[in-house]
């Protein structure tokens, strides 16, 4: 009887860790990467700066 209660606790904690791991895996697959966000942000800033300086010079 004592073994069954310990195994039930073990399985409960195992399921909790498994669900956390699956959630982290899904988040990493479906959320955009930080590096691509930063790259896009820098590219947009460069384009806006070029347009701004083009208007000032002309």
Per-residue pLDDT at 58: 54
Domain count, the chain: 1
* Cα distance between residue 35 and residue 41, in whole Å: 10
Structure confidence by residue, pLDDT tens digits, 16-41 = 999 999 999 888 777 766 666 777 78
DSSP string computed for 12-45: HHHHHHHHHHHHHHHHHHHSPPHHHHHHHHHHHH
Residue 21 belongs to domain spanning: 2-57
Instruction: Name the nearest CA neighbour of 31 among 42, 23, 19.
Output: 23
Q: How many CB atoms lie within 10 A of CB 33?
A: 9
Structure confidence by residue, pLDDT tens digits, 7-19 = 888 888 899 999 9
């Amino acid at each position: 009887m004592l073994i069954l209660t310990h195994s039930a606790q073990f399985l409960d904690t195992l399921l909790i860790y498994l669900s956390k791991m699956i959630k982290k895996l899904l988040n990493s697959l479906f959320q955009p990467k930080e590096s691509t966000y930063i790259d896009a942000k820098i590219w947009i800033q460069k384009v806006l700066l070029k347009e701004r300086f083009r208007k000032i010079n002309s």
